[in-house]
Structure 1
Amino acid sequence: MTPVRADAVDHYDARTDVLVVGFGCAGAAAAYEAASAGADVLVLERAGGPGGSSALSGGELYLGGGTSVQHACGFEDSADDMFGYLEAALGPHADAEKLRLYCDGSAEHFQWFVDRGLTFEPTLWDAPTWMPSTRDGLMWLGENAWPYNEIARPAPRGHRCATPGFGGRLVMEKLVAAAREAGAGVQTDTLATALIVDDTGRVVGVTARRHGQELTFRARRGVVLTTGGFADNEEMLAHHAPHLIGHGKVSDGLDDGSGIRMAAAIGAATRRLGTVELALTALPAMVTRGMLVNAHGQRFINEDVYPGLFSVAAVLTQPAPYWVIIDEEGYESIPERERWGVVPRFVTETLGELEAELGMPEGALESTVGTYNTYAERGQDPYFHKDPRWLRPLKGPFAAVDPRAGFHQGGRPSAGAGTGAAGFTLGGLHTTVDGAVLDVSGAVVPGLFAAGRAASGIHGEGYVSGTSLGDGTFFGRRAGTAAAGAF
């Protein structure tokens, strides 16, 4: 990762105006905009093809402010309401400047995806879930749960392209095609290894390696780093984000922080490297119909929030293991295809028996369920404010579902199988709203830009699905445009 002096390079294997390193969603957006602005663009991708972690994602795009899909589903929305929700849900300490731009430009950004060929069904998935199994184009992501429904007018903003299940691959197909059609060149199996810097401190290219061959690439206007986060780098996790150690990783296996380290080697500043997202493999369809408890049998959050929020609350603040407690009526009310292959670990006639099976203090679960039932009969949840839609007294027989078993869609366990959680990093290089990388003194590093998980984006200490693809492409576009105009 040690930077290379430009005067030590006697040959370049390729020259271009804008060099994009990484071909996930942020890289594709940057390449498209830079090429559309008239720049000569070359994308380097270390894998054998484009897509990265973006292609393996659910494909949700967190967008709002009055999109055509929102209108078709009967919802009015504004940039201010979107900002109000995200500032709270992505907080504390969300990046207000970037978030304001993102919300104000959200409706336009949605149209940008439509113009790239993505289609969205004008229908709503109206229940908490990690991922709808349908082609519905809109889903709730916690906007209608307390306390967020009191902070901003609720509107669903999880936009999903027209495909059942995981849609990241389709999003990437369209973005990669758009970048290529705009004129961006691509070289795969090419791992960037260091930045090339001239005697003024300007980044002018990168060194790379392909099949054991050392290569050099010259960028006349700018280098855009879109290399992803560092969930797959155990040393970086130990230094900066130890909460992820031992858990599953939500990545393509190549999120090793290489771009962050290359930039840090020339004095680039980083921001919020300790911030992570964690996903507990607890099924929202079950959690909302029952309850989520810690090892002591205690509830700690309203279960109808965005599931990433109950996941982080569990893993970072509660004693493990965590359990989903549900009764037979609740379990049977879930359509089989929405159970994701999840079955209870323990089933008992009484709560006392279930406590014993789970190793909980005597009377703990009986007390929790008793209190819950008392208020559920009145349609109330004064402790955590779960929506009355999901409140119902729980009656035996009872079941305990163990998130450590993971999901088993398609016969394969999920990434969270083992500890019950999987995650990724949110922090990265400190950038301006146009993707320019800042150094440790706050000055712009000339010629260097970053976006996506390689950069610190709109997030504070919270996360909502769709803000990775949304943030990455929105600020990837800005970074590509800025790099194309840099001289």
Structure 2
Amino acid sequence: MTPVRAATVERYDVETDVLIVGFGCAGAAAAYEAASAGADVLVMERAGGPGGSSALSGGELYLGGGTPVQHACGFEDSAAEMFGYLAAALGPHADEEKLRLYCDGSAAHFQWFVDCGLTFEPTLWDAPTWMPTTKDGLMWLGENAWPYNEIARPAPRGHRCATDSFGGWLVMEKLVAAAQGAGADVHADTLATALVVDDSGRVVGVSARRHGQELTYRARRGVVLTTGGFADNEEMLADHAPSLIGHGKVSDGLDDGSGIRMAAAIGAATRRMGVVELALTALPPMATRGMLVNGHGQRFINEDVYPGLFSVAAVLTQPAPYWVIIDEEGYESVPEAERWGVVPRFVAETLAELETELGMPQGALESTVGTYNTHAARGQDPYFHKDPRWLRPLTGPFAAIDPRAGFHQGGRPSAGAGTGAAGFTLGGLHTTVDGAVLDVSGEPVRGLFAAGRASSGIHGEGYISGTSLGDGTFFGRRAGVAAAGGA
């Protein structure tokens, strides 16, 4: 990662105006905008083709402010309400400058996706879930759960392009086509190894390796790093985000922090490197119909929140293991397609038997369920405020579902199988709203930009689905425009 001095480069193998390193969603957005601005654009991708972790994602796009899909489903929304929810859910310490820009530009950003070829069904998936099994174009992502429904007027903002279940592949298919249609060239199987810096400190290119051959690329106007996070780099995790060690990784296996390290090697600053997102493989349709408890048999959150929030609360603050406790009526009421192959690990006629099977303190689960049932019979949840829609007393027989078993949707275990959790990093390079990378003194590194998970985006210490593809593309676009301008 040691930078290459431009004075030592005898000749450049490839020259372009804007060089983008990484062809996930942020790279595609940057490439499209830079090419549309009239720049010669080349995208360098270490894998055999574009997509990266973005293509493997659920494909949710967190958008609001009054999109046509929201209107078609009967919801009014505004940038201010969107900001109110996200500032709380992505907090504490969300990046308010970036977040306000993102919310203010969200409805227009939705139209940008449409212009890139994505379509959205005007229908709503109206229940908590990790991922709808339908083509519904809109889903709730915790906006209607306490305390967020008291902070901002609830409106669903999880936009999904028209495909069943996971849609990241389709988002990337359209964005890649748009970028290449605008004129961006692509060099796949090409690994960036270091930044090339001139005597004034400006980034003027990248050294790379392709099929064993060492190459040097010149960027006349700017380099944009969109190389992803560092979930797959155990050394970086140990240094910055140890809470992710030992858990599954939500990535394509190539999120090794290389772009962050290349930039840090020339003095670039990083931000919030310890913040991670974790997904506990507990199914929301089951957790909401029952309860999520810690290893002591205690509830700790309202189960109808965005599931990433109950996941982080569990893994980072509660004693393991974690269990979904549900009764037979609740389990049977979950449509089979929404069970994702999940079956109980333990079943018992009484709570006393079940807590013995789970190794919990005697009477702990009985106390928790007893208190829950007393209030649920009145349609109340005074401790955690789960929506009355999901409240009813639980009656035997009872089951305990173990998130460590993972999901088995499509016959394949999920990334969380093992510890019950999988995640990715949210911290990265410190950038301006236009993607300029800042050095440790707070000054822009001339010629260097970043977006996506290689940078620190809108997030504080929280996460909501759709805000990776959303902020990656939104700020990727701005970085592409700025790089094309030669800032």
TM-score, structure 1 as length reference: 1.00
Partner of 2:267: 267
The reply to whether residue 355 of structure 1 matches residue 355 of structure 2 is: yes
- SS of 2:399's equivalent in the other structure is strand
Cα distance in 2 between the residues matched to 1:301 and 1:148: 13
Give the letter for the 1:342 counterpart: V
Partner of 1:440: 440
Give the letter for the 1:69 counterpart: V
Partner of 1:70: 70
Cα distance in 1 between the residues matched to 2:244 and 2:262: 22
Cα distance in 2 between the residues matched to 1:67 and 1:166: 21
Give the letter for the 2:42 counterpart: L
Give the letter for the 2:379 counterpart: G
Cα distance in 1 between the residues matched to 2:229 and 2:22: 11
Shift of 1:271: 0.1
Cα distance in 2 between the residues matched to 1:218 and 1:203: 9
Cα distance in 1 between the residues matched to 2:13 and 2:452: 27
Shift of 1:11: 1.1
Cα distance in 2 between the residues matched to 1:345 and 1:417: 14
- Partner deviation per Cα, 1:212-267 (whole Å, 9 max, x = no partner): 11000000000000000000000000000000000000000000000000000000
Give the letter for the 2:178 counterpart: A
Partner of 2:197: 197
- SS of 1:221's equivalent in the other structure is strand
Give the letter for the 1:116 counterpart: C
Cα distance in 2 between the residues matched to 1:211 and 1:378: 67
Give the letter for the 1:319 counterpart: P
Partner of 1:294: 294
Partner of 1:14: 14
Cα distance in 1 between the residues matched to 2:460 and 2:201: 31
Give the letter for the 2:381 counterpart: D
Cα distance in 1 between the residues matched to 2:211 and 2:217: 16
- Output aligned runs, 1:278-357, within 5 Å: 278-357=278-357
Partner of 2:409: 409
- Output aligned runs, 1:49-60, within 5 Å: 49-60=49-60
Cα distance in 2 between the residues matched to 1:450 and 1:209: 21
Cα distance in 2 between the residues matched to 1:162 and 1:413: 25
| Contiguous gaps of at least 5 residues in structure 2 | none
Cα distance in 1 between the residues matched to 2:332 and 2:437: 52
Cα distance in 1 between the residues matched to 2:409 and 2:303: 22
Cα distance in 2 between the residues matched to 1:273 and 1:363: 41
Cα distance in 2 between the residues matched to 1:140 and 1:336: 21
Shift of 1:211: 1.1
Aligned length: 487
Partner of 1:142: 142
- Output aligned runs, 1:51-200, within 5 Å: 51-200=51-200
Cα distance in 2 between the residues matched to 1:196 and 1:149: 49
Partner of 1:238: 238
Give the letter for the 1:252 counterpart: D
| Contiguous gaps of at least 5 residues in structure 1 | none
Cα distance in 1 between the residues matched to 2:95 and 2:37: 28
Cα distance in 1 between the residues matched to 2:436 and 2:486: 10
Cα distance in 1 between the residues matched to 2:117 and 2:411: 32
Partner of 1:382: 382
- SS of 1:136's equivalent in the other structure is coil
- Partner deviation per Cα, 1:418-469 (whole Å, 9 max, x = no partner): 0000000000000000000000000000000000000000000000000000
Cα distance in 1 between the residues matched to 2:99 and 2:226: 19
- Partner deviation per Cα, 1:369-416 (whole Å, 9 max, x = no partner): 000000000000000000000000000000000000000011110000
Give the letter for the 1:87 counterpart: A
Cα distance in 2 between the residues matched to 1:11 and 1:255: 30
Cα distance in 1 between the residues matched to 2:361 and 2:445: 57
The reply to whether residue 219 of structure 1 matches residue 219 of structure 2 is: yes
Give the letter for the 2:230 counterpart: F
Cα distance in 2 between the residues matched to 1:7 and 1:361: 69
Give the letter for the 1:47 counterpart: A
Partner of 1:485: 485
Cα distance in 1 between the residues matched to 2:309 and 2:475: 24
Partner of 1:37: 37
Give the letter for the 1:253 counterpart: G
- SS of 2:235's equivalent in the other structure is helix
Partner of 1:450: 450
Shift of 1:46: 0.1
Identity of aligned residues (%): 89
Runs of 4+ in 1 over 3 A off after TM superposition: none
The reply to whether residue 210 of structure 1 matches residue 214 of structure 2 is: no
Partner of 2:247: 247
Partner of 1:391: 391
Over aligned residues, Cα RMSD in angstroms?
0.3
